[in-house]
Amino acid sequence: MSRIIVKNNGSLSGKVCISGSKNSSLPILAACILTKGKNIISGVPDLSDISTMYSLLESLGVKIDVHKDRVVLDCKNIVHYTTPYELVGKMRGSFLLAGALLSRMGKARISLPGGCPIGTRPVDLHLKGFAAMGADISQGHGYVELSAKKLKGARIYLDFPSVGATENIIMAAALAEGETIIENAAAEPEIVDLTDFLIKQGAKIEGSGSDTIKITGVKELNPTTHKVIPDRIEAGTFIVAFSMTRGYGTIENVNYSHIKPVVAKLSEMGVDIKDNGNNILTINAEHTLRTSDVKTLPFPGFPTDMQAPFTALMSTAKGTGVIVETVFENRFLHIGELNRMGANIRIDGRTSVIEGVNSLSGAKVNAFDLRGGAALVVAGMSAKGETEITGVEHIQRGYENFVEKFAKIGANIVFDKK
Ligand code: UD1
């Protein structure tokens, strides 16, 4: 079983360069199949979730050439419309192919993604959108089958501003007949990155980044080139790591406006963060930090993906902090593990109450999900002694060169591959 072993090595310091966003790359790679030619995407991180998306696209007929600085996706021939369970089961983001595939092929047979440790994560809102656009939908044997000769624009109200549902509906609507309006749409930066890409392909989209998005279907889209935005969650994780070890450092390739809610909370806790322009931030946490109260919300609220790293950070800050998780119903699996490291955290429903302790102590812990796993590694950097983290495959899904980047800023961290 592979492990990450972390030993306390004092404060982190130095410079980190943030990779391209995983959550932007996934829908953008899916959207390539809306065109019949070669799209060139740069900034796509080298991660296992991205490899899964490449395998899915290849299984449909896309020819993919991965270069060091760009990926070329030749979507001339899409010959299949089924995404196999073996791949979809690895990553929920695979469902992002539904809208584009339905649009391109007139049908899509997508394995249902199922639940995951952080919640049941249904796809009802995605399906509601496709149905409103005239798709026939049937389910059986673990697959959902979608078909529509020609999708038609519709007015769609989302009960919750789901990121994935918003992306899927936008992709389906880009080539549909007429106008689609998504109300209560998600406004995450990754949505704006996807629509920027689609607009370059020739799509007509207004209002992206707000809660109402209007898509006017066009006859065809053309291949283009695009660079994905920086990963705001990776940036947040590194800022938390500098803060957790009371260190200081510089983060490059980060869009300040994307991480404002995270910066606001860190400032409340006592971390000094300066926006130096040119996508560069400096962080100084060389003093006592206080806990804060946090509620996760859709963008521009505090991101649920930063909840676990913040829990780790607050566990050694001064005072009592409260975190309310409103986006996913079961995103607290890291808390039992943090308590094994000496944290004092209670859970009551969707709320966790964190009593700051002086320090954590290294222990053997397990990562149950991606961000929870990253939180345990960061916690280990400030804990006394050695922390051994298993379940590292979850972390590899979402962080590029995770161990190498931390080692470069002074962490004592080793990846033990078994
Ligand atoms: C995306 C991100 C994930 C992030 C999440 C919320 C990707 C690949 N993943 O996931 O990192 O944590 O946004 O910012 O971009 N829901 C339904 N029905 C649906 C769809 C969603 O009830 O049809 C619920 C989910 O169970 C969850 C909430 O809505 O409780 C938010 O989910 P959603 O925004 O869809 O997250 P993802 O797109 O899966």
Question: Relative to the CA of 233, which ligand 1 atom is closest?
Answer: 11
Instruction: Supply the pTM of this predicted model.
Output: 0.97
Return the H-helix or E-strand segment holding 128: helix 124-132
pLDDT, position 418: 79
Domain boundaries, the chain: 3-19+230-416, 22-227
Spatial strand order in the sheet of 225-227: 63-66, 71-74, 38-42, 225-227
Nearest CA to ligand 1 atom 34: 162
Distance 304 CA to ligand 1 centre (A): 10
Which candidate, 265, 365, 375, 374, places its Cα nearest to that of 323? 265
pLDDT (tens digit, 9 = 90+) per residue, 185-240? 999 999 999 999 999 999 999 999 999 999 999 999 999 999 999 999 999 999 99
CB of 261 closer than 6 angstroms to any ligand 1 atom:
no
Per-residue confidence (pLDDT) for residue 114, from 0 to 100: 58
Q: What's the CATH code, domain 22-227? A: 3.65.10.10
Instruction: Tell me what pLDDT residue 72 has.
Output: 98
Separation between Cα atoms, residue 189 and residue 299, nearest integer Å = 8
- Closest Cα partner for 258 from 189, 209, 203? 189
For residue 303, what pLDDT is reported?
A: 98
Distance, CA 370 to ligand 1 centroid (Å)? 14
Residue nearest to atom 38 of ligand 1 (CA): 164
Same topology, domains 3-19+230-416 and 22-227? Answer is yes
- Using alpha carbons, select from 64, 27, 19 the residue that is nearest to residue 44: 19
Say yes or no: CB of residue 236 within 6 Å of ligand 1.
no
d(CA 111, CA 34): 20
CATH H superfamily, domain 3-19+230-416: Enolpyruvate transferase domain (3.65.10.10)
Residues with a known catalytic role: 116
**What is the Å distance from ligand 1's center to 123 Cα?**
9
Among 48, 61, 44, residue whose Cα is nearest residue 97:
61
Task: Indicate whether residue 165 lines ligand 1 (CB < 6 A).
Answer: yes
Ligand 1 pocket, residue 359 CB under 6 Å:
no
Mean pLDDT per 10-residue section of the chain, whose length is 418 residues: 95 98 98 97 96 96 96 96 88 92 95 69 92 95 92 97 98 98 98 98 98 98 98 98 97 97 97 96 95 97 98 98 94 96 96 97 96 97 97 93 97 92
Q: What is the pLDDT of residues 99-147, one digit of tens each?
A: 999 999 999 999 887 556 666 678 999 999 999 999 999 998 889 999 9
| Residue 359 confidence (pLDDT) | 96
Gap from CA of 47 to ligand 1 centroid (Å): 20
Q: Please report the pLDDT score of residue 120 as a whole number.
A: 67
Phi, psi (rounded to 5 degrees) for 110: -115, 130
Burial (CB count <10 Å: 0-12, 13-18, 19+), residue 348: exposed
